[in-house]
Amino acid sequence: MLDIKQLTEKQVFLLDGAMGTELFRAGLPPGHCPEAWNEERPEAVVGIHLSYFEAGSRAILTNSFGGNALKLAGYGLESRTYELNLKAAQLARSVCPEDGYVGGSIGPTGKFLRPVGDLTEDRMLKAFRPQIEGLADGGVDFLLIETQYDLKEALLALRAAREACTLPVFVTMTFNLTRRGYYTMMGVSPEAFIRAMEENAVEAFGANCTLGPAEMAGLIKILRTLSNRPLVAQANAGQPRVGPDNLTYYELGPEEYARHVPGLIEAGARVIGGCCGTSPEHIKKISEKIVGFFDRIK
């Protein structure tokens, strides 16, 4: 059983970078279901996982970010929720080294609960359960409920996880930096988030997406004042830009991104990875930065 608190006492636990970015680089057509590639193009998914391990990741995340039943229903694949997540976990597990770990990625449903939307809590719970069961049965070491913006949805996913298995659970929300400070799209503050995570004894939690590494460090510094549990930081490679070829790219290359890593660690992050726009090249540079970090600051 992964003990993330023990693993992060004297080192940084390095996750992988973006999966979506790498899938598109591998040829995933726009509008195609990423999770379908677990069965259609397993060699491509395995190749991405392997590239992150080779770059220095201690743990990789499954290709299952949009693998809940509500998201898959948009592709007509709702009935295959369990199977696609089972396959996602098995693919990641197949290339995991003995000292590595596999995390089950669980993203948002993309729907809104009542009264903002028309989704009931029961229906949301049912959407997460087969995803979690598939990931657990496929052999993941922990679950990462990520990129959440609604605290109620994050807690429902957490409830589904606790009901379905005994795996450690990490939770990350995505915050914007506003004139009033850091808040999610649904108005969740760092204080409300941390309070809920502490009350539910979540093993590790933090933030991912939206923010670049410099802004992320500011948020992590605030979170560290509110909790002593391992904090997760998965920043974007800066902000997205549209180039002359009308293709989207991100501002920060591997070297520039990695320069911010000491600041993230000093702010209190102990689980670090990359989000949108990051690649195996980014993870390699991050790995080089964190090697021996704690020895250097003694």
Q: For 127-139, what is each residue's pLDDT tens digit? A: 999 999 999 999 9
pLDDT band at 294 (very low <50, low <70, confident <90, very high): low
Number of helices (H), then strands (E), in the chain: 14, 12
- For residue range 40-58, list pLDDT tens digits in order: 999 999 999 999 999 999 9
253's tokens = 């290359």
Q: Sign (positive/negative) of CA torsion 28, 77, 93, 15? A: positive
DSSP per-residue letters across 190-234:
HHHHHHHHHHTT-SEEEEESSS-HHHHHHHHHHHHHH--SPEEEE
Contact predicate 187/175, CB 8 Å = no
Say whether 171 sits in a helix, a strand or coil.
Answer: strand
Say whether 76 sits in a helix, a strand or coil.
Answer: coil
The letter for the amino acid at 240 is P
The letter for the amino acid at 200 is N
Say whether 182 sits in a helix, a strand or coil.
Answer: strand
| 77 CB neighbour count, 10 Å cutoff | 17
Residue 1 lies in a domain: no
Residue 104 lies in a domain: yes
Residue 203 lies in a domain: yes
For position 33, which CATH number holds? 3.20.20.330
Q: What are phi and psi of 254, to 5 degrees?
A: -55, -45
Expressed as residue numbers, the domain containing 70 is 9-296
**Distance in angstroms (rounded) separating the CA atoms of residues 149 and 152:** 9
**Distance in angstroms (rounded) separating the CA atoms of residues 265 and 281:** 20
Per-residue pLDDT, averaged over 174-194, amounts to 98
Residue 97 lies in a domain: yes
- For residue range 104-117, list pLDDT tens digits in order: 999 999 999 999 99
CA distances from residue 288 to 7, 98, 124, 271 in whole angstroms, order as listed? 18, 21, 41, 15
Number of domains in the chain: 1
Residue 283 lies in a domain: yes
pLDDT at 292: 66
Report the percent of the chain where pLDDT is more than 70: 98
| 42 CB neighbour count, 10 Å cutoff | 16
Residue 2 lies in a domain: no
Residue 4 lies in a domain: no
pLDDT at 51: 98
Residue 234 lies in a domain: yes
